Structure formats: structure tokens, C-alpha cells
């Protein structure tokens, strides 16, 4: 058996918790970076039916308006760039 005093055991316990919390913090930071939104004019879309502006993904051609649920066609718009 490993001889360890109560103070040493408590120190190891807190050290393990600190390492665990650091790993969770690093995981959260990397997760946030991968799902982070980057706003630009090419991602902003304006619905022709209800005039609601919303953000779309870059690679979509069709999308639905979140307010009126109408189908919106995303054309290559040069006026916003």
C-alpha cells in the first residue's frame, strides 16, 4: 500500500479536479470555435414575402424563412458585396 498523508491525498484530489476542469474548459473552447457564426453580407438574406432578414448557410440555394415559412431562392447577389 502507498503511504500517503491526509494532506497529500487532499492535494492529489484537488490536482485531479483541476486537471479535469482544465480539460473540460479546453473542450468547450474548441467546441465553440467550431460552431461559431461569422457574419457577412453574403450570409444575410432578406425574405421577399415578409421582409424579414435572417442568416443563411453559404452553400444553400433554397431556404425557408423562419417567420413566414415561405421558400426563398438564394441567388448570387452582387449588390451586397
Q: What is the pLDDT along the chain (81 residues), one digit of tens a residue?
A: 678 899 999 999 999 999 999 999 999 999 888 777 666 767 788 888 898 888 887 777 888 888 998 888 877 654 444
For residues 34-62, b (16+ Cβ closer than 10 Å) or e, as one string?
eeeeeeeeeeebebeeeeeeeebeeeeee
pTM over the 0.75 mark: no
pLDDT of amino acid 76? 63
Using the 8-state DSSP alphabet, how is residue 22 labeled?
H
Residue with cell 438574406: 45
Say if CB 75 and CB 36 are below 8 A apart: no
Amino acid at each position: 500500500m502507498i503511504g500517503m498523508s491526509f494532506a497529500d491525498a487532499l492535494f492529489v484530489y484537488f490536482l485531479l479536479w483541476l486537471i479535469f476542469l482544465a480539460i473540460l474548459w479546453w473542450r468547450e473552447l474548441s467546441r465553440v470555435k467550431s460552431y461559431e457564426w461569422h457574419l457577412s453580407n453574403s450570409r444575410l438574406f432578406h425574405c421577399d414575402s415578409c421582409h424579414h432578414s435572417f442568416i443563411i448557410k453559404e452553400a444553400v440555394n433554397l431556404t425557408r424563412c423562419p417567420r413566414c415559412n415561405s421558400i426563398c431562392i438564394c441567388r448570387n447577389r452582387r449588390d451586397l458585396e
